[in-house]
């Protein structure tokens, strides 16, 4: 921060406003509990090493929310191509969005931040579904 810059001048990233690493960790852990318990989408995780998947998701959310770039995974299209071949579509994306919103509500994230996260997530729909 420069000598003329005040703390109010520094715009916080979504990552910072949401609570940083501890918030992302809590959200991803709860999110996957919901996803894996949902018969509508849990088949897409059959045979997946969930420890690695959770770590990748935490790194991806950290990057997407403006935190440090520790993500080394594939781009969204390539990461989901196998799932698209298995039938991943709009319905499944909607279910994931449902669980994401429910997770953030359960963690008492303010509605304006939930809306920001949901807008960001929704912006990935075409890439995830290989369109």
CATH of domain 18-128: 1.10.490.10
pTM to 2 decimal places: 0.87
Would you list the domain boundaries of the chain? Answer: 18-128
Beta carbons within 8 Å of 15's beta carbon, 6+ residues apart: 24, 62, 65, 66, 67
CA 36 to CA 34: how far, in whole Å? 6
113, burial (CB in 10 Å: exposed 0-12, middle 13-18, buried 19+): middle
pLDDT tens digits for range 45-80 = 999 999 999 999 999 999 999 999 988 889 999 999
pLDDT tens digits for range 79-125 = 999 999 999 999 999 999 999 999 999 999 999 999 999 999 999 99
């Amino acid at each position: 921060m420069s000598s003329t810059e005040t703390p109010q001048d520094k715009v916080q990233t979504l990552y910072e406003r949401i609570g940083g690493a501890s918030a992302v960790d809590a959200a991803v852990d709860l999110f996957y509990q919901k996803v894996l318990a949902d018969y509508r989408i849990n088949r897409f995780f059959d045979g997946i090493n969930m420890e690695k998947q959770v770590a990748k998701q935490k790194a991806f959310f950290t990057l997407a929310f403006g935190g440090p770039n520790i993500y080394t995974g594939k781009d969204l299209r390539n990461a989901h191509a196998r799932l698209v071949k298995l039938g991943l579509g709009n319905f499944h994306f909607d279910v994931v969005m449902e669980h994401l919103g429910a997770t953030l509500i359960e963690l008492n994230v303010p509605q304006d931040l939930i809306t920001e996260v949901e807008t960001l997530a929704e912006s990935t729909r075409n890439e995830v579904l290989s369109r």
